[in-house]
Amino acid sequence: MKRFINLFFLFARPLQFFNAAFTIMALLNIYSLRGRFFLPAILLKLAGYVAVAAYQNFMDSRAFYFFQNSGHSVVRLYIIAFALDLLCFGLIVIILNHYHAFAHVKNR
């Protein structure tokens, strides 16, 4: 299990920057919509995943052989990486909402 976790972090390392960038864009989107509509932000995140996967497939697909040689499917690693990122994004939104980060626009 420890080996898989280390492998997963190796796989996810180049994805982090792009996922963080799309997370910030999605949060700004929620902010601009006064914290009421989440669907466009979620769609933005999903579009981010497609863009990141397409970019990696085009630019760095050779490294996929490393992960396959470790016995793991690249698709499975992508699904885990994106699911965890989406979970983190959801938690950030819940926490920000809870602490009224969007309150000033909600109460307007």
Partner 1 sequence: MHSLTLKIDSVQLEFDGRKVLRDVYLDCSCGEIVGLLGRNGCGKSSLLKIIFGTLTAQYKYVAINDKFVAKGYKHGVAYLPQHHFLPRYASINQLAGQLVDPLFMPELAAMPIYQQHAHKRCEQLSGGEQRQFEMLMILFSNADFVLMDEPFTHVTPVQSNDFKKLMRKVAQHKGIIVTDHQYYNILEVSDRVILMNDGTTRPIYRPEQLVEYRYLSGL
Q: Which residues bind partner 1 (CB under 8 A)?
A: 3, 6-7, 10, 13-14, 60, 62-66, 68-73
Name the minimum Å distance from CB 84 to partner 1: 19
Would you call 54 helix, strand, or coil by DSSP? helix
Q: Hey, what are 35's tokens? A: 């914290």
Name the minimum Å distance from CB 56 to partner 1: 11
Nearer to partner 1, 23 or 56 (CB): 56
Nearer to partner 1, 10 or 33 (CB): 10
Nearer to partner 1, 7 or 92 (CB): 7
Spatial distance between the Cα atoms of 83 and 4, rounded to a whole number of angstroms: 16
Name the minimum Å distance from CB 74 to partner 1: 9
Spatial distance between the Cα atoms of 19 and 87, rounded to a whole number of angstroms: 12
Q: Is-contact 19 56, C-beta < 8 A?
A: no
Spatial distance between the Cα atoms of 24 and 84, rounded to a whole number of angstroms: 16
Nearer to partner 1, 32 or 73 (CB): 73
